[in-house]
Chains A and B, each alone.
Chain A
């Protein structure tokens, strides 16, 4: 069990560019969550998957954001036409099948939009 991994760990981009982040959950965890954390705040929920189905999206997730989880394994989060307000830490978590199981977090991807 290698834990949740995220790639890249850091990303610097210019405003207007597209970026894509990857999350690999713990194997056999069928729930996968994305959160965003800005400086001095607690993480905020963005979206979650059960297997390959995206079951909920937060109002924080504008049309510029899209997430996928093909085949119910890894997930990608894409931000199109990045804005400076997108600068944040993007965190991925996974949990086993049961609804109320512990969530395990990856190390995060820190995004800076210039």
Chain B
């Protein structure tokens, strides 16, 4: 099956700093989503981005499908950005089920 690897596993930032989270995948994918899981466990959609670049406020994402990676950029981080960020892919058109990476746990300090 496909492998989805995220780095770094943990990240601690001061409020206002910028960060880049990476997601590598071992095969071609049909779909890629980024999620933020808040401390209460809710998975919040950030981007649906199988290829290209998208921006939403302080967040942006880029997926280079041919090189099998995606990046999530967080600028001017805030304490509310804390939580776990997951990358998830749909592989081989398998019914649309998402295969998740292990996540990056982000902690933003005031």
Contact = CB atoms under 8 A, between A and B. Distances in A.
B41 interface: yes
B66 interface: no
B100 A43 contact: yes
Contacts, number: 64
Nearest to B102: A42
Contacts of B98: 33, 35, 43, 45, 93, 103
Most central of A55, A89, A103 by chain B CB within 10 Å: A103
B42 A41 contact: no
Contact of B93 (A41, A42, A99, A102): A99
A52 to B, nearest CB: 15
Interface stretch (B43-51, B54-62, B68-76): B43-51
Interface in A72-114: 89, 91, 93, 95, 99-105, 107-108, 110
B95 interface: yes
Contacts of B90: 99-100
B43 A43 contact: yes
A48 B96 contact: yes
B46 to A, nearest CB: 10
Contacts of A56: 94-95, 97
Interface in B62-110: 86, 88, 90, 93-103
B95 A102 contact: no
Contacts of B86: 42-43
Nearest to A42: B100
Contacts of B93: 99
A35 B48 CA distance: 19
A105 B84 CA distance: 15
A105 B45 CA distance: 8
A44 interface: yes
A31 interface: yes
A110 B103 CA distance: 19
Interface of A: 31, 33, 35, 37, 41-45, 48, 55-56, 89, 91, 93, 95, 99-105, 107-108, 110
